[in-house]
Structure 1
Amino acid sequence: MEVVALILLLPAFYLAADLIHRWMGVGSIAWGSRSSPKIALTFDDGPSTHTQAILERLRKHGVKATFFVLGSQAQKYPELMERIRAEGHQIESHGQVHRPAFFLWPWQEIRQIRAIPGRFYRPPHGIHSPLTRWLTRAAGKQVALWDVESKDWTKQDPQALARRILVWCKPGSIVLLHDNDQFPQTLAILDEILPRLKELGYQPVRLDELETRPLTWREGLMRASQGGHERYFIKNKVERLGLGPFDYLAVSPCAFPGPSQPGLQKGEPSLEVHLDSVRTPAMTQIQLLREGRKGFTLLAEYVQSNPEIRGIWGISQAAAGLRVFGFHLAPVTFLQRLISGTASAWFLWLYRGELPKRSLPSALLGYSPREEFLARWLKKAKAPENPQ
């Protein structure tokens, strides 16, 4: 009976380990400091017949990266391993063979982790067994995952995939790409993102140059919620105002929910303002003010070209901060206050680690009718550059 119970419980142990350690990433390295524009591009599965082309692109743009290589591939292409090292890139372990931990005996997983010397180990597919973390620590290594997946293994349009990376990349991001000749999308994606990342102000570096620490349980929930965050953006057509490291404003088209205000009536076409909960906690007040002005200046040009938009608004406990950008403040309904307050309490804990306080302000409506918004921000958008 005990043996039967153990056999039945074993899948549950494996599922729990994978849920906590792969999906949430608790205890792993998944991103670096959110206050720095440094990011790490990482390549799994190599070396391969694509390695040379990847290295050429990295060299062209002066970018250093991290290669999580397979022992079997390293034995097949020793000259490429030397080339990766010679060009200053970091080499870490992706195992001996590309086999999920679910299908490895413990002694096989030990060989996987120790296949390539280094500081980090990235399990194939990120999949964990109940022993993966313990065996990794015993080998003197740390599991390294990611917070931006390129999806270069899919058949999607590479330009769309590159755009997705730029939208979801953040300060400190670890980007998952592949050095695998079965995924030709990777090279096309690199052609798109390498020049753009630098233009936007990101600084691609090796993984060991990021300021990293293991994810806590709270940060694991942050990582697990990323998919839901992306689905929300797609469903509600949310667009970021700028793609730079610290551009924290986004908007989505919707009918103004009310209550009706002077110059903006309930039901009229409008744009709801969203603040980036990942970026803003790591930013100073001066950064928030500067990047907010930049975002609203960009938004003014969009609003001018879309005459159906009658106003800009947001409901939040932080809405009072919109006053500095020329927004009006107004009370909201009890239901709006309840929904916004609940959401704010959750986000404050999830992204800042702060528990709800009685001293927190009630949710307010911050709004700016179309003509007022354009009068304030379009002038700034068209202002000539100061002569140097």
Structure 2
Amino acid sequence: MNVVERFLKYVSFDTQSSETSDTCPSTAKQMILGAELASELAQMGLQNAHMDPDGYVYGWLPATPGCEGVPCLGLIAHMDTAPAFSGTNVKPRIVDYQGGDVVLDAEKDIRIRPEEDEALSHYVGKQLIVTDGSTLLGADDKAGVAEIFSAMEYLAAHPELKHGRIAVGITPDEEVGRGADKFDIAGFGAAVAYTVDGGELGEIEYENFNAAAATVTVHGLNIHPGSAKNRMKNALLIAMEFNAMLPPAEIPAHTEGYEGFYHLEHMAGDETTAVLEYIIRDHSREKFEARKAAVERIAAYLNDKYGAGTVELALRDQYYNMKAQIEPHMYLIHRAKAAFRKAGVEPREVAIRGGTDGARLSYEGLPCPNLSTGGLNFHGRQEYIPVESLEKMVEVLLHLVQAEER
């Protein structure tokens, strides 16, 4: 099974994670793919291939003779897809892209348009794997899983390629920020690792956002509008006031690069109770802490204005910028650059406007920068991945793990 066949197989599994579930994994359906992945690793000849009770898949390829002393290297990806858009009944297809719009659904006029996707012009003359416009594709991160597994299968069949022990880990629930929660670092056994969970081919990422989640619950007082004067405290209006006090330009639609933001991702309620759910992001730890403090000041101001307990704020840190943890191990970045170049791909260092399992794991003792998968437009119906990028990333991983190429 080549990497394209493997990828098309994996995206047929519905593995959306859930932000509202307290279980691990957050959805039982992830374990269906997990069981298949564990079985595949075992069939390839990886040792201790298994899925644990929490849905994490592990296995390791033994070192080739003479390389037993090479430190164990880990490769990590995640099996879940984002809850932001449907991942049920994915219908991928391969198109030969010759320029212009990529039509996903002609009847509904769902397209990938070059004027909305600057990267599309890079792939004229290439084959693209796309959706039918009704679901996301799942390249985030089933492309990473397929690339790692294809590389492992090749190495297992070619023992003449020298390498140290290689540990493979596939996590659930990365898309809801919990992929590293129960990752068994000690059992994984790697000294260092890479996540394969990035975007366009050639990207190397070791800077990411500092991240927090904020839930704002507004407690109002609902009274019949006919007799509400000087008495009603409308939770919906107070919630709108809270949001209006945040800097209007500091949202995802107006920021790029290293610029942070406040992002309102869900709201619900009525006059009695209203809830706003935000994510807070910044690459700078100082600015990140300042953003959290600003949210706290707004809540305090509104409580002073409308009465104690009106606004209830719950702040939770999610992950931190991995840069400080990777800088003592910059050989990982040099090694990755060399692997890309050996595969004929010019590497680019990119700051992630998001985060990965690698950010959490780096703070928990496993230095873990992130590599591209080749996919684009993640988390929506316009997601796609070039066939050549899938194939190239397998080649990159083979160069990356070979002991003689350190």
TM-score (norm 1): 0.23
Structure with greater helix percent: 1
Question: So what's the TM-score if we normalise by structure 2?
Answer: 0.22
- Which structure has the highest strand share of the two? 2
Higher relative contact order (CA 8 A, sep 6+): 2
